[in-house]
Each structure stands twice: as structure tokens, then as C-alpha cells.
Amino acid sequence: MNSSTMLDLLDSQARQAGFAAAGIAPVPAPGSPEDHEERSRFADWVEAGHAGEMDYLKRRDESGQLVRSSVRVALPWARSVIVCAANYNSAEPRSIDPAPEASAWIARYAWTGHAEEGCPSDYHKVLLRRLEKLRENLTTTLGPFGSRCFVDTGPVVERVYARYAGIGFVGKNTCILNQHLGSWLFLGVIVTSLEIPTSHALQLAPDRCGSCTRCIDACPTQALTGPRQMDATRCISYLTIEKRGAIPEALRPAIGRQVVGCDICQDVCPWNRRAPIAADPDLAPRAALVNPALEWLAEMDEDAFGRWFNGSPVRRTKFSGFRRNLAIAMGNSGQQRFLPLLSQWAEDTDPVLAETASWAVENLRRD
């Protein structure tokens, strides 16, 4: 099968499976310039300490190589990577738009739910089912081949292969940007043993960021240290989701009202102004999670947290991290009415919550 026919087949079957875009890229041969770039950029980023507490990104094999530095480190049989993108954009407000007083922000990707059932959905599971269906269909057409499906869980830096496969270019905010779809994209991959025809070159999309630096300028914590350079230890998404324990005090004021993740660098991106609205029943936004009231979220006990967020990406914060984040948002709100609850939390047996709530009380009293 020639390159063009394979791409047409992949595009057709990926769209049937529910994806907005798809592509395939060869795994760079060991020693090639692309292989060197893939390994060195990731290794340099980890060595600089930018991965923070995300130990899964620092895992090494028996020879000492970073497992995620190259697909062939963990999967020596890999010869190509199929990349699929699902659009999760919605017509709901942006985080930078005017919002109700004392409202929180939950990142757009974590709003997802099943449109018909009204219950939460986790994009990892949604995309994984679609990838497995796509693999099944491709196997029927192409015959058996070795493969593994991953959604954020495998030894693959997805955006690298999304770039190689022509899904988009890496924007200055480090997200994959597609000039037609924008950057509100979930990525899933199928690592395969399929040999790509030699006529299939890397389908690199041109960089269309130009001289724009809106994402870098808008980042409240200066996590974007330069074009396509991210210090995750300063990123609000990392701090509110991946970081365990206390969030550095110096960064708390800049977190603002973000309680789960952050959308600011995507909300200000000009390419997202024209991004199409998704019509995906498995990734529909749950209206209650758009600009939710801080009071409502803070009233949740652990059982209510579970009822609302079991099966949702929000669950990754854990209940303790969720309340820690809420304490910071309330402390940044300027609303004195939160003082009684924060004073109560300042006496909590969770030392991280108690310290964060004490900080929030002092912050409000200074306002």
C-alpha cells in the first residue's frame, strides 16, 4: 500500500471512530537527526528539573535511558505511530472572559461528560475505546500487526508525533496547534510495527505562531520561559493537579481562581478564535462545571466530591488537593465571606490544607 492510500484509509477510518484528525509518522531511526532531537530535548528538559514531581516522566530503563525520551527505548519493535486528535472545544465562556463574582475555574478538558446520561466522562477512556476500534478496523484491512494504544499513559511524547504526523505544529505555549481546529485537542496514539513506505516523509506542519507571544505574556506564573519552553513546576495545571503537598507561597496569588488546571495560554491564542465547536456526545461540557461557585465546590464533602467527579479527570487532584486549591482561590477572591470557612479549615487535621487556609485568611485580611 502506498503512502497516499494509507493516509486516506487512516483518515477515513479515524473519522468513523470519532476523531477530528489523524496522521501517521515513522519512528525515527536510531542516530537520525529526528531521533537525536527527540531524545535530547526531553532529556534536557528533565535534567533541568522542569518535570517537578512527575516521577513517571523521569523513569529510566536498565541502561539508564529515559523511557520516554524515544519510543524505541521502551518499544524496540516500534516502526510507526498513528496519532489521532479529538476536538473538545465548546461554545462556553473562556477563563479570561468576565465571570460571576467568586466563581472558580475548572479547565475545559475536565468539563467532559456523556451528553445523554449527564454523568462525567474521562477522555482517556473515551479515546482509548476509539483507538482500539480503529486498530481493529485497520487490522481487518491491513492484516495483523504489533501495536499498543495509549492516551497520556505510554512512553510517547504525543505532541512530538502529532507534529511528525502533520496534525499540527507546536505552539509557543507548547500545545499542538492545528490551523483549522485550534489547540483544544485530545491526542491518542497507536504505536505500531507497520513499516511506513520510504516515500512517506515526515509531514511537518509549518510553524504559524509568527511573532505572536500572547501565551507567554499571559501566563500568570511565568511558566512559559520562552517560545516552546515550559517549566512545569511553575505551570498552574501542574500545581493544581500533579503537585502534592503545599504549593509554593510565592506562586499562590498568581493562581487566581484556577482550582483544576488552567486554560489561559490557550484562551488568548488567536488560532482558537476560529476553532470549530465540537459536536462530540462523549465529551460534552457539563454546564455546572463552567464558572462554578466557590461556595458550592467548598461545601462538597468527600462523598459529594466522588459523586460529582468519579470518572472525571478532576479526580486526579484528589479530594485533599481539591480543597487545597479551593483555599487558594478563596484567598485570592477578595471575598471576606469566606473567612469563617477558611478559619475552620485552618484547624483541619490535614496539615497542607490547614497551612494553605491560614495563608488564605491572612491574604483576605490584607485586602
Q: What residues does each domain of the chain span?
A: 3-88+115-192, 293-367
Q: What is the pLDDT of residue 2?
A: 62
Q: What is the pLDDT of residue 64?
A: 87
HEC letters along the chain: CCHHHHHHHHHHHHHHCCCCEEEEEECCCCCCHHHHHHHHHHHHHHHCCCCCCCHHHCCECCCCCEHHHCHHHHCCCCCEEEEEEEECCCCCCCCCCCCCCCECEECHHHHEECCCCCCECCHHHHHHHHHHHHHHHHHHHHCCCCEEEECCCCCCCHHHHHHHCCCCEECCCCCEEECCCECCEEEEEEEECCCCCCCCCCCCCCCCCCCCCHHHHHCCCCCEEECCEECHHHCHHHHHHHCCCCCCHHHHHHHCCEEECCCHHHHCCHHHCCCCCCCCCCCEECHHHCCCEHHHHHHCCHHHHHHHHCCCHHHHHHHHHHHHHHHHHHHHCCCHHHHHHHHHHCCCCCHHHHHHHHHHHHHHHHC
Catalytic residue among 11, 35, 152, 350: 152
Q: What is the pLDDT of residue 186?
A: 97
Q: What is the pLDDT of residue 3?
A: 65
Q: Would residue 152 show up in a list of annotated catalytic residues for this protein?
A: yes
Q: What is the pLDDT of residue 37?
A: 77
Q: What is the pLDDT of residue 29?
A: 79
* Successive 10-residue mean pLDDT values, the chain, 367 residues: 78 95 89 77 89 90 86 92 96 96 97 85 96 96 95 90 93 96 98 79 79 98 97 98 97 98 98 93 94 98 96 96 98 98 98 98 93
CATH number of 293-367: 1.25.10
